[in-house]
Amino acid sequence: MALEDDIQQTFTAVEIELPETIKLLLELKDKFNIKEFNADTILKSVRDEDAQKRIFLYNRIRELLNTCRSCPLCLSDWHTQKVPGEGQLNSPLVLIGEGPGLDEDKLGRPFVGRAGQLLTTILEKLNINREKIYITNVIKCRPPQNRTPTQKEIKACSHNLELELSIISPKVIIALGAVPLNYFKPGSSIMRERGNWIVHGDFWIMPTFHPAYVLRQHGKTLTKVKWAVWQDFNNAIKKLTELSPGTLSKISLDTKE
Ligand code: URA
């Protein structure tokens, strides 16, 4: 992807909107006086080297989300604020949930309720620091009565997740539940697909059960479901180690910086 090509396009066909990622990279170029013209090279250097530029992008992604009016969810009485993804824009691992619930809507942070506590515990058991990875949702506004988001809402919100993923370019994604699974592979069943890798562009996606689903189980089913989730997370970490040797130490609980 060359920035020049995209800019050229706007001159020849002014009605073509520049992709959000390109617009953001043009802002970054301007702000930091970057001479490089290749978007992939700029992003790679931002991910590998430059914390200042990552902070700029992180804040801009949040500001852009706050201006989003792509669907009416943010107008509902069930909605207090948008819930952006949080964590590190250079994380090789991204976790994607469905959408904010009551606690997330109140605090403006993803996965901070009971399901979030379970998720944090799973990550800690794997020696992963949740602050060192990136956690987000398919939709960023709480739906009324915490219902499943509609296809229309998911589509309308997709530019936000696409922007996050194109900046982060993670190696491995853990899709938590049916909504993120179907975002990448429409028409899929989480019961059938969990534990099976999906390769989507450059991403390796591991679908697993949503932590809220785990919390609703009892007895033998609970044991089975917990085991499945544990295996899926372990397989995701194993794949991460294969694809990107050395990255695990950067997201571990023991790393200080
Ligand atoms: N469930 C989700 O899917 N996302 C959250 O952020 C919290 C609960």
Could you give the number of structural domains in the chain? 1
- Point out the ligand 1 atom lying closest to the alpha carbon of residue 176: 3
Which residues face 102 on adjacent strands?
A: none
- Point out the ligand 1 atom lying closest to the alpha carbon of residue 135: 6
Whether residue 63 is contained in a domain is answered as no
Q: pLDDT at residue 12 above 70?
A: no
For residues 116 and 228, the answer to whether their CB atoms sit within 8 Å is no
Q: pLDDT at residue 147 above 60?
A: yes
Distance 102 CA to ligand 1 centre (A): 9
How far is residue 30's CA from residue 14's CA, in Å, rounded to a whole number?
21
Q: Quick one: what percent of the chain has pLDDT higher than 90? A: 87
Name the pLDDT band for 167 (thresholds 50, 70, 90): very high
Residues whose CB falls within 8 Å of the CB of residue 106, separated by 6 or more in sequence, listed in order: 80
Whether residue 186 is contained in a domain is answered as yes
List the domain range (segments joined by +) for residue 138: 78-251
How far is residue 31's CA from residue 49's CA, in Å, rounded to a whole number?
17
Whether residue 2 is contained in a domain is answered as no
Q: Quick one: what percent of the chain has pLDDT higher than 70? A: 93
Name the 3-class secondary structure at 147.
Answer: coil
Distance 140 CA to ligand 1 centre (A): 10
Summary mean pLDDT of the chain: 93
Whether residue 28 is contained in a domain is answered as no
Whether residue 29 is contained in a domain is answered as no
Here the CATH number for the domain that contains residue 112 is: 3.40.470.10
pTM to 2 decimal places? 0.94
Give the pLDDT score at 54.
96
Residues whose CB falls within 8 Å of the CB of residue 133, separated by 6 or more in sequence, listed in order: 87, 88, 91, 93, 94, 95, 123, 251
Whether residue 32 is contained in a domain is answered as no
Mean pLDDT of the 22-31 span: 94
In the chain, % helix, strand, coil (3-state, to 5) comes to: 55, 10, 35
Residues 235-256 pLDDT 10s? 999 999 999 998 999 999 987 6
